[in-house]
Amino acid sequence: MNIFSATTKAAQSAATATWKPVSSGSGPGNDGAAVLGALKQGQTDQVSVSKLGQALTGVAADAFNHLNGKAKGFLEKLVNSGKISADEVALGLRSAASEATFNRYVAERPQDEEDKRRLAASNAVSDRMQTYLGGLETARTAFGAARDQLHEQQAAGLLSEAGMQEQLAPLQAGFDASAQELDSQYGKADRDADLANLGDDGGFAKNVNGFNAAMAVGTDKDGFVNPTSSEGKAAGAKLFQLGFGPEMFGSAFDDFAATVDVPGIGRKSSSTASQAAPSDPTEPATPASIAPAGAADSASSVTTSPSAGTPTTIADPGKAKAALSMLRDALESNGAGRKAGGILVATTDEEADAGIASLMETLKAGGASSSPSVKIES
């Protein structure tokens, strides 16, 4: 089956010139040495032309140029300390910039009928999950409110321990009945099937292949990195572990991606778009390339083993992209401090957190109990 749309093929054939990084400086195609050297002129964060400056070329140099002075100086200091090599920094920057560009490609590329079918199916899964989890949340809230009233009565001396237990029993039964009703409408087999389908049925491979084809002329040794590159992800993960996180790089990689002239899509902004990440970034997205192992399993991704040829993210746009996040959002909203606790109602924040985490993992595995056990304690 041909996994490329006609639009993607046309975009590929239209890409006749080698991609060059869009410079946010005064001259075309700044290299790493020029970028680092410019920092010495009138800036507090002074760094010298060094191994890092020599290693930063192509995509890495342009991505580096979108960082603010603090982030640039931080990377230079890492290299000077010997904690990471200049080549590893360059590869990590290329990988993160490539992933940001890939994400933009996925979001903005023309959708064909296959994409629309996949998106409709994924949205249906998302709706079913939302209905199921919303029902569990409603039952949990009702149980928690009634339980808290009983605790207040007991604290005021209006209810004995025996009376407390006696009145909690029907609340437990009511919760179980609600959970069983939800399970009859959307049972374990259905949840298993839906969660399996969220693993993608070729959409990720289609997006990766389409991106690689569209950007083929820019994937040389200084250009883009394949989104599934284990070497690139390893370099990015090392940077993250050394402290190069979202609070440091802000929106720099998204800003870089916006300037790339993607064949068939174009640029999202002019070449003079944002030249540096905000000095005070607010909750920027973290590229999976710049994250520790396991951190990619976020609200918008499903992590599996790239070596097995399986997807590392749900690449289709729309509600399906956040399907698994519903499992987390609905449960994590029961975080520490809420008297209603979690579906596994407990009397301490620690017990509630443990119960919520356990249920989340069970739901992700498709094996949620139809009647969650409610811990009744006075």
- CA 219, CA 59: separation in Å to the nearest integer? 9
**How many whole angstroms separate alpha carbon 110 and alpha carbon 80?**
44
- The verdict on residue 300 lying in a domain is no
- The answer as to whether 86 is a domain residue is yes
Q: What is the distance between the alpha carbons of residues 58 and 55, in angstroms, rounded to a whole number?
A: 10
Both tokens assigned to 168: 């909690």
Q: Which residue has the tokens 């070596």?
A: 307
Cα 125 from Cα 328, distance rounded (Å): 16
Domain for residue 358, yes or no? yes
Q: Nearest-CA neighbor of 225 among 309, 108, 101?
A: 101
pTM here? 0.51
Asked which of 268, 289, 310 is the last residue of a domain, the reply is 289
Domain around 276: 6-111+204-289
Report the range of poorest mean pLDDT among 70-84, 297-311, 325-339.
297-311
Q: How many domains does the chain have?
A: 2
Q: Using the Cα atoms of residue 79, residue 84, residue 86 and residue 92 in order, give the sign of their dihedral.
A: negative
Backbone CA torsion sign across 251, 328, 134, 196: positive
- Checking if the pLDDT of 11 tops 60, the result is no
The domain boundary residue, chosen from 267, 289, 311: 289
Whole-number Å distance between alpha carbons of 82 and 17: 38
Shared domain check, 208 and 90? yes
Residues 137 and 107 in one domain: no
* Distance separating alpha carbons of residues 203 and 120, to the nearest angstrom: 13
Q: Helices in 215-277 by DSSP H: which ranges?
A: 230-241, 246-249, 252-259
Neighbours of 97 (CB within 10 A): 31
Would you say residue 376 lies in a domain? no
**Does residue 243 lie in a domain region?**
yes
pLDDT for residue 118 is more than 60: yes
Query: Do the domain assignments include residue 312?
Result: no
The pLDDT value recorded for residue 322 is: 42
| Range with lowest mean pLDDT among 37-46, 123-132, 180-189, 221-230 | 37-46
Give the Cβ contact number of residue 122 at 10 Å.
24
Q: How many Å apart are CA 210 and CA 5, to the nearest integer?
A: 9
**274 and 137 in one domain?**
no
CA distance 240 to 96: 11
- Judgement on whether residues 196 and 226 belong to the same structural domain of the protein: no
pLDDT at 184: 93
pLDDT attached to residue 215: 82
pLDDT at residue number 200 = 58
182 shares a domain with 43: no
Q: Which of 88-102, 205-219, 299-313 has the lowest mean pLDDT?
A: 299-313
The alpha carbon of 182 is separated from its chain's Cα centroid by a whole number of angstroms, namely 29
Residue 62: both structure tokens together: 């342009």
Q: Is 71 in the same domain as 144?
A: no
Give, as one character, the DSSP assignment of residue 372. Answer: P
Give me 370's structure tokens: 């139809």
Domain check: are 104 and 193 in the same one?
no
Q: Which of 236, 269, 289 is the last residue of a domain?
A: 289
| pLDDT tens digits for range 234-288 | 999 999 999 998 888 988 999 999 998 888 888 885 443 444 444 444 444 455 5
From 135-144, 161-170, 207-216, the region with the lowest mean pLDDT: 207-216
Three-state secondary structure call for residue 125: helix
Would residue 147 count as lying in a domain?
yes
Q: 12 and 105: one domain? A: yes
Eight-class DSSP state of 228: T
- 61 and 80 inside one domain: yes
Q: Do 102 and 129 lie in a common domain?
A: no
> Is 217:11 a contact under the CB 8 Å cutoff?
no
Residues 34 and 160 in one domain: no
Residue 378 lies in a domain: no
Residues 102 and 218 placed together within one structural domain of the fold:
yes
